[in-house]
Amino acid sequence: MPEVRWGAFSGKGIKNINQDCHAVTVPDFSRLQRRGVIAAVADGISSSQVSQYASELAINEFVRDYLMTADVWSPARAAELVLRTINTRLYIKSQLSPYRENPDKGYVCTFSAVLLYGDKAILLHCGDSRIYHIRQHQAQLCTEDHRQQGEGGQHYLSNALGIKPELNVDITVRDIVPGDTFVVMTDGIAETLSVEDWLAVLQQADTNLTKGCEQVANMALDFGCNDNLTIAAVNVTSVDQPVSVNYESSGYLPFIQSPPTNGSIIDDWRVEKQLSNTERSSVYLARHNHSNKQVVLKVPAVSMQDNSGFLDEMIKEEWVAKRVSHPQLLSGVSETFSRSCFYVVLTHCPGISMRQWRDDNGAPDLMLLRDWATQLSGALTALHRQGILHQDIRPENVLVSDTNTLMLIDYGAASFSGHNFLMASEQLFIPGDLLFAAPEYFVGLWPDERAEQFSLAVLLYYLLSGEYPYDAGVAKKTSYSGLLKLRYISLNQRNVSVPAWLDATIKRACHPQAGKRYESLSEFVYDLHHPNPAYGRTLPLMERHPVRVWQGISGLLAITVMVLLVLLFDAP
């Protein structure tokens, strides 16, 4: 990996606030080996009062998430996918804000970054910040401003994070040698100073790049810059041998050529047995050669090796697992290992699926049901705090241990900040099992945590009844008006004996309209444990006591028949 020295400076200039953000990160050794050095700059657009939040989010989340990506992805592909998730998050924030119809007022920022990995520099760019490559005292501009000319001859930003649902990122790769310097700066400095001016200042600063960056910013201010001023410089002092990992042109590690068998060695793992084999992937139980820890290895089927969306979703499982920590969530593998080919490593969790548990044991009692709801609510909340929606809550994806402890698994359908790797803009994307998916997915609305509440409520309903609260009706609705026609089928109508208040709790949690569900999962779980008096007052008599109602109707009918018979036979 390259060794570097660096410096950076950011200031608000003559403006009231600084809407720029930057970071230069030299990770610890293990992550440095996998992902390299990061220098990134983001510039919030001046027309927006919230763009400083966009630039701060973009920089902080890029650095965090990029360094946590699985090295099955090449650095370039990993960085691009991280940026796409950030773009989706910013775009959704704008769409849910008062600035929905005016992107110039929304959560928008430019983004430019240099990643130094092995003997290469990977340049990422969207917007009008700039990246320069200095070699032998000559500075070369490596980026093009993403601007278009509008009415009146004015230029406007045509590409940046948060402007559109789909992001276009310029990605270039350059060789690096000792002595190279990369400079990333926002347009305030770039449009005020000539290259010769700022280059001379940096060269005079010599090894004190922080001082040099500050002097460049001050010079731009003296020359009349009326914008924020941000600049970061990274100088390569030495370059090691190229990294031994060779990525395919598609951005993935090479695929395993022949299916593993019992006893096969894959890097630091010994395969013990095959757990499953489908048209999409094969799953194996393996053990680490040194720590003896058991893990699960997932390998894509040959037929899926050209499907980049599927491959990204598979790798994403490992990415999610590394980001979350909760007793009821499948976690990432902590072992340090070298990876030379395409496979995903996940923690091995013993247990049976919740569907198998129900097949074997029937419906759980209410005490166990509430305990399970509490466990799953905690797991989902931990995901949501990381900006992740699981999106595939169903009995097959919940493991039950011998002590009835649950483990939520399978992050293949999960979204990051609203971003789905498989989602195509021209078609409706519905992740997971259609019978458990929230109506938002079918009518084209942005799902949020309340979509997970819907799925959890349907899961509880299924555990109690073996059926679904709307049968297959949800999947047949394609418009918001169609949701209004859905009618909840009471558990009592399914001949399931549960308190009316508990049935009402589940009914509210899986309401077709997200706005009528609980505000949070914690409220839902609380009502599962504590009878809500409001439900007893508001439920129709038929839903509160259906058996008694029908008994009463039958009694009235019997009396009516008897009266009619008496009148008929007593008539002259």
Mean pLDDT calculated for residue range 249-276: 93
pLDDT of residue 544: 53
Phi, psi (degrees; rounded to nearest 5) at 323:
-85, -20
Write the CB contacts of 273 (distance below 8 Å, at least 6 apart in sequence). 262, 284, 285
Q: How many CA atoms lie within 13 A of 373 on its CB side?
A: 32
User: What is the Cα 183 distance to its own chain's centre?
Assistant: 31
The Cα angle at residue 305 between residues 1 and 171, in degrees rounded to 5: 45
Average pLDDT of the chain is 90
H and E: helices and strands count for the chain: 17, 22
Write the CB contacts of 388 (distance below 8 Å, at least 6 apart in sequence). 320, 323, 324, 411, 414, 415, 416
List pLDDT tens digits, range 104-123.
899 999 999 999 998 899 99
List pLDDT tens digits, range 192-232.
999 999 999 999 988 899 999 999 999 999 999 999 999 99
Mean pLDDT calculated for residue range 456-462: 97
Homologous superfamily assigned to 355-422+431-539? Transferase(Phosphotransferase) domain 1 (1.10.510.10)
List pLDDT tens digits, range 390-421.
999 999 999 999 999 999 999 988 988 778 77
pLDDT of residue 546: 62
Homologous superfamily assigned to 3-238? PPM-type phosphatase domain (3.60.40.10)
The Cα angle at residue 125 between residues 124 and 129, in degrees rounded to 5: 130
Q: Which residue has the tokens 């068998």?
A: 261
Inform me whether the pLDDT recorded for 312 exceeds 50: yes
Alpha-carbon span 527 to 509, nearest angstrom = 10
Q: What is the dihedral of CA 422, 425, 428, 433, to 10 degrees?
A: 10
Write the CB contacts of 451 (distance below 8 Å, at least 6 apart in sequence). 389, 391, 437, 438, 440, 441, 514
Strands 229-238 and 181-185: what pairing?
Answer: antiparallel
Contacts made by residues 151-154, CB under 8 angstroms, sequence distance 24+: none
The Cα angle at residue 68 between residues 66 and 70, in degrees rounded to 5: 95
CATH 3.60.40.10 in the chain is located at: 3-238
For helices 51-68 and 75-95, angle between their N-to-C axes, nearest 10 degrees: 150
List pLDDT tens digits, range 52-94.
999 999 999 999 999 989 899 999 999 999 999 999 999 989 9
Q: What would the two tokens of residue 384 be?
A: 């949501």
List pLDDT tens digits, range 24-58.
999 876 666 778 899 999 999 988 899 999 999 99
Which of 26, 307, 22 shows the shortest CA–CA distance to 189? 22
CB 99: neighbour CB atoms within 10 A? 18
pTM: 0.84
Which of 459, 438, 491, 490 shows the shortest CA–CA distance to 372? 459
pLDDT of residue 477: 76
Q: What would the two tokens of residue 52 be?
A: 């400083």
CA distances in angstroms from 123 to 142, 232, 335, 510, listed in the order given: 8, 14, 30, 46
Inform me whether the pLDDT recorded for 426 exceeds 60: no
Q: What would the two tokens of residue 62 be?
A: 């890029």
Alpha-carbon span 352 to 445, nearest angstrom = 34
Asked if the 265-347 domain carries CATH number 3.30.200.20, the reply is: yes
Q: What would the two tokens of residue 451 be?
A: 């979509």
CATH 1.10.510.10 in the chain is located at: 355-422+431-539
CATH 3.30.200.20 in the chain is located at: 265-347
Alpha-carbon span 279 to 239, nearest angstrom = 43
